[in-house]
A and B are shown apart, each in its own frame.
Chain A
Amino acid sequence: MNTQSYVNQLMSGIATWSRINSPWAIHFNSGSCNGCDIEILATLTPRYDIERFGIKLRGSPRHADVLICTGPVTRQARERLLRIYEQMPEPKFVVAVGSCGISGGVFQGCYNIVGHIDEVLPVHAYIPGCPPRPEAIIDGIVKLLTHLKNGSRPQPLKLSHQEIA
């Protein structure tokens, strides 16, 4: 093994290690009822304290590794959701929280709904529930991290947005 490839390997090891130990997240509500959003916020607070996994909620997509989406995607929010996703640096992961984000939930068939999140973005982890409990949200994110730790990158289950592909 030459020095160059050794250094590359080392650097990528360090990058993975730091990514797993401090994944920064950004949260976007694209049409949710707020139920999931307050549960996401609750995970930050002392009872659940998601920061013990190094997870921090950031305000800017430029700082974030994980996009936490809630709610079905409304027509007005769709473009913003894409914009936020595109502004995030690679590698990036999307977590869909809540029933509406996964299937449209109770809002299926409403006129202002584009669909669920994986019709717009590639989703890496789904957290079901209406809303999911904070424990479930933590579990979902930790499962995503475990994947990264094992060296595998979870593949999005569905990729329907042409421009991103």
Chain B
Amino acid sequence: MTTETLLQRATELLAPFSKGNTTPETNRLDVQIDANDLPAATSALISNSWGYLSAITPMDLGAEANKLEAIYHFCEGAAVTSLRIQLPREDRPRIPSISNLIPVASFFERELGEMLGVDVVGTPDSSRLFLPDDWPDGVYPLREEFSIEQATPVEPHETLPEFGRTGNKFTVPIGPQHPALKEPGHFEFSVDGEVITGARMRLGYVHRGMEKATQERNWIQNLYLLERVCGICSHTHTSAYAYGVEKLAQVEVPLRALAIREIIAGLERVHSHLLWLGVAAHEAGFDTLFMYSWRDRETVMDLLEELTGNRVNYSITVLGGVKHDITAENSHSIHTALDYLEERIRHYLNIVTTDTTFLQRTRGIGTMNLDEAKHFGALGPTARASGLVRDVRIDSPYGAYHHFPVSIVTDERGDLEARFVVRMKELLVTCFTIRTIVDNMPAGELTTRFPRKIPAGETISRVEAPRGEAFYFIKSGGGENPVRVKIRTPSLCNWTSVLNKAVGHQLADVPMLIAGMDPCFSCNDRMITVRRKDDSQTLSWSQMREYGIKKYAAMREMK
């Protein structure tokens, strides 16, 4: 179906609830609805298989309008339908939950509640997702009147016990500091014996408040701020932001610049997937593969450094183009490096599909079928390994993807093995695309003039990150700073599928299910029992801390 027919269909489906339709861009439909109609409107879209919930944007419309707004973005192909709900600004306005229809919405609703101060009625878990425990009640960072002085730390609420026991069931806490977690996150698995019966997640250990920070920085500064959303897919974030801002400014970026962006995006995908392969192999105890894949990853890191000057935060994108050109000499090194990488990737593809020990950890584990992948709103390689054809580069081509299309890799099996296979095959496809672009480099300029102030408007920019669709909603008020930048990264959507699929598996499968996460039982206990020869004593965390400080002070004095 074309984008027009999709939008036409959405208009028909939402007609009973609509309080006014607008078409801000050719591929978008904005429908104003009442808060009470939200579950019915969502159900109308979902039951007719119209798209998936991509993000919920919480927004404060300012003191003048005296309204808050929650925007529910649904995507299907290149078409984006947004359900816009205006809410009163006083106290905590109420909005019904749609988590029973769309599981992934529960994360977005937690965010909506804590960031904008909206009461989501009926949401399964209204505890904090991003804000710290010591954050005061009634202070919402995305409200316009928010200032940092309001957020003075308060005594934390009584949080849920981090571990405990009810009957035969234990709650096993994992993280935030953990041998295999490179980023801190906190997970609570309830287990019955060895079998997982439930999973919960608490984020916010690396929550810095970047969405708010974008409003205080100008359009160019934001490019460098958003590059640091994630060090692994830095180029994805700069390009998603740049594509959005360029659309708002109605600036045509030279094709050569777009092609260079696509090359860098491809190389970033290669480095990211090789990194992931290593970490996932490490979780399975296959350290040899970890070392090999990271050794080979250095080839692409060298290449990125040669092309951009940096290994991690490439900073090659500027608004309106790119900074560096790709010369004939560079093309030669790209080809040489890809020759080597392609050979190695074929080798890894062979390993992950034939190594018996490794297959025991991956084959048939965490199987997610196509319907489940749709239901949980999986994205990226996780979705494609379940046979779900979902890739922004194909559904809604941006940048140079019109000229240099990629082919999609899917697998029907949906288990961990399929995810390894999809990622490895995706690397081969990516290498092929990079070669095609390098051989057919379009001529032209690298940058174009870019205004300092961006005309007022709103845009949605979707980019396929190595882990799935990254979603940006950008609103300009016509000034030097954005009014609102909403970022939704793919991992947030994929967690739902992983946490749900973990139920019923052995606790020992968790590290492989959540590659890059390993169960550890000792490091985060809040209570600890100190055993002496004849008696034992239970200390609370604060007593334990006191004990430790005294002990070390005494040791220091002895010296």
Q: Is A11 an interface residue (CB 8 A)?
A: no
User: What 1/0 flags go to A69-110 for Cβ under 8 Å of B?
Assistant: 001101111001001101100100000000000000111011
Task: Closest B residue to A164 by CB, please name it.
Answer: B549
How far apart sit A105 and B231, CA to CA, in the bound complex (Å)?
A: 14
How far apart sit A61 and B523, CA to CA, in the bound complex (Å)?
A: 8
Q: Is B346 an interface residue (CB 8 A)?
A: no
Q: Is A112 an interface residue (CB 8 A)?
A: yes
**Shortest distance from the beta carbon of B46 to any chain A beta carbon, whole Å:** 33
**Shortest distance from the beta carbon of B115 to any chain A beta carbon, whole Å:** 11
Chain B residues positioned under 8 Å from A87 (CB to CB): 548
Task: Closest B residue to A45 by CB, please name it.
Answer: B294
Instruction: Tell me which of A14-22, A35-43, A119-127 binds B.
Output: A35-43
Q: Is B212 an interface residue (CB 8 A)?
A: yes
Chain A residues positioned under 8 Å from B349 (CB to CB): none
Q: Is A10 an interface residue (CB 8 A)?
A: no
Chain B residues positioned under 8 Å from A106 (CB to CB): 224-225, 228
Chain A residues positioned under 8 Å from B206 (CB to CB): 29-33, 71, 74, 77
Task: List which B503-559 residues lie within 8 A (CB) of chain A.
Answer: 520, 522-523, 545, 548-549, 552, 555-556
- Contact present for B178 and A76 (CB under 8 Å): no
User: What 1/0 flags go to B145-172 for Cβ under 8 Å of A?
Assistant: 0101001010000000000000000000
- Contact present for A72 and B178 (CB under 8 Å): no
Task: List which A1-54 residues lie within 8 A (CB) of chain B.
Answer: 27-39, 41-42, 45-47
Considering residues B206, B230, B290, B548, which has the most beta carbons from chain A within 10 angstroms of its beta carbon? B206
The answer to whether A31 and B178 touch (CB under 8 A), given A37-B183, A106-B228, A131-B312, is no
Q: Is B210 an interface residue (CB 8 A)?
A: yes
**Shortest distance from the beta carbon of A35 to any chain B beta carbon, whole Å:** 3
Instruction: Tell me which of B16-24, B127-135, B468-476 binds A.
Output: B127-135
Chain A residues positioned under 8 Å from B231 (CB to CB): 32-38, 131
Q: Is B275 an interface residue (CB 8 A)?
A: yes
- Contact present for B212 and A110 (CB under 8 Å): yes
- Contact present for A74 and B204 (CB under 8 Å): yes
Task: List which B269-288 residues lie within 8 A (CB) of chain A.
Answer: 275, 278
- Contact present for B209 and A113 (CB under 8 Å): yes
Task: Closest A residue to B293 by CB, please name it.
Answer: A45
Chain A residues positioned under 8 Å from B153 (CB to CB): 75
Chain B residues in the interface with A (C-beta under 8 A): 130-135, 141, 146, 148, 151, 153, 176-180, 182-184, 204-210, 212-213, 216, 224-225, 228-232, 234, 275, 278, 290-291, 294-295, 297-298, 301, 311-313, 520, 522-523, 545, 548-549, 552, 555-556
Closest 3 pairs (CB-CB, A-B) = A35-B231, A59-B179, A45-B294
Chosen A-B contacts, 26 in total, with CB atoms closer than 8 Å, are A27-B182, A29-B182, A31-B205, A33-B229, A34-B182, A34-B231, A35-B228, A35-B312, A38-B182, A38-B312, A39-B311, A42-B298, A58-B179, A59-B179, A74-B132, A75-B132, A76-B131, A76-B133, A76-B204, A80-B177, A80-B184, A80-B205, A90-B555, A110-B212, A111-B151, A112-B130
